[in-house]
Amino acid sequence: MATVYESANAKGQVTRDSALGRMAGGTKGGKDLTLKSAGSAYSVFNDPVGKGAANRSFLNSRLWHGVPQLTEEQMKMFEAAYSGHTFFFVTGLPKFMTTGRYADANTHVHALIKNFKTIVERCCVSYSGAQGLTLNTADQEDGATRKISHAINAQKEQGDIQLKLHEFAGLPVRNALEAWVNGIFDYRSQHGNYLGNLGIQGGWCLANHTMGLLVVQTDPSWTEIQDAVYYCNILPTEVPFDSFNFDKGEGTIVPDYDLTFKANEIRSEAVMKAAEAYMNNRILTMVDTAVYKGNAFDPGLKTAKADTAWEGKIN
């Protein structure tokens, strides 16, 4: 790259000398070649409006010296993936809390688990537990030092998931979890009595006391799904009673709960289709539909039925 020297002439105009030639004040081809002074610093960019460095236009400049200016297509290659735009959908609740003697949404048990569903979907402040995929290999030795690795199987662990949830007045999270756990097994008698609701279809079984959760990650515009995972057979592992703890003279709000659940993870094309359906339904309730019309996902089914169309059918 040619070295450029700058100096000021008698009129205060900056001139540039380089091995490629001399540019002085004036115009060439209708373009102002005079560089304006901005205190003691000079810009290498033209200032056609003469308003100083802060207002110079970079529209036709090469932001990275030494490389070609990126085209729109080239810039797309540098588009980043984003995290943090995550949505939660509870696709199925423990049936012993929502059917039979608790089918009426006004019953205490039904109301507890419905509140829990809403808090998970709208007030979850942290999530972790997605397990990575591992390719296992075995080495074959050839000679004294050379080894050749061979793929033998792929493995994905079925781990726990962690959710951090806000607690609210009346302790709806704690009370819902306590009812859920005590319904599966009364901790005093170890009797699985479903809170007196054993008469439901199927009786005491895994399908009647587990929850389903769909986790969807999108780009910042919420119009493109980056990833989605479905957790089935979800079981709580603990009921927090931290709200009883205190120190004399200190008072504060109940801290967020860090909750661990047992779950089985599923990824499939059906999960991605379900994610589109649930996201479409959620967005239409969160933003001005008149503004968003035409940009929503098109999952191919009526969004009003999204919450029931996929329940129990994701596999």
Q: Distance of CA 199 to CAs 46, 100, 125, 144, 245, Å?
A: 82, 7, 37, 69, 38
pLDDT of the residue at 246: 80
Nearest residue to 211 (alpha-carbon basis) of 89, 87, 93: 93
pLDDT of the residue at 242: 81
Question: Which residue ranges make up each domain of the chain?
Answer: 13-73, 86-133+163-309
Angle at 173 between CA 169 and CA 178, to 5 degrees: 120
Q: How many Cβ atoms sit within 10 Å of the Cβ of residue 255? A: 13
Name 303's Cβ contacts closer than 8 Å, sequence gap at least 6: 277, 280, 281, 284
pLDDT of the residue at 112: 92
Nearest residue to 311 (alpha-carbon basis) of 127, 113, 89: 89
pLDDT of the residue at 84: 85
Strand locations in 176-280 (E): 211-218, 225-236, 257-266
Taking only the tens place, the pLDDT of each residue in 287-313 is 554 444 544 444 333 333 344 444 445
Question: Can you give the C-alpha Rg of the chain in angstroms?
Answer: 31
Helix ranges, 129-219 (H): 172-184
Q: How many Cβ atoms sit within 10 Å of the Cβ of residue 282? A: 21
pLDDT of the residue at 213: 94
- Residues 50 and 63: their CA atoms lie apart, in Å, by 20
- Residues 5 and 3: their CA atoms lie apart, in Å, by 7
**298: its two tokens:** 């098109």
- Residues 181 and 124: their CA atoms lie apart, in Å, by 20
Taking only the tens place, the pLDDT of each residue in 165-178 is 999 888 999 999 99
Name 36's Cβ contacts closer than 8 Å, sequence gap at least 6: 14, 47, 50, 52
Q: For 79-86, which contacts have Cβ atoms below 8 Å and span 24 or more sequence positions?
A: 81/219, 81/226, 82/219, 82/220, 82/226, 83/217, 85/217, 85/218, 85/219, 85/220, 85/222, 86/127, 86/215, 86/216, 86/217, 86/218
pLDDT of the residue at 211: 95
Query: Which of the residues in the chain have pLDDT under 50?
Result: 1-8, 12-50, 289-292, 294-312, 314-315
Give the pTM.
0.68
pLDDT of the residue at 132: 84
What angle do helix axes 108-123 and 172-184 make, rounded to 10 degrees? 120
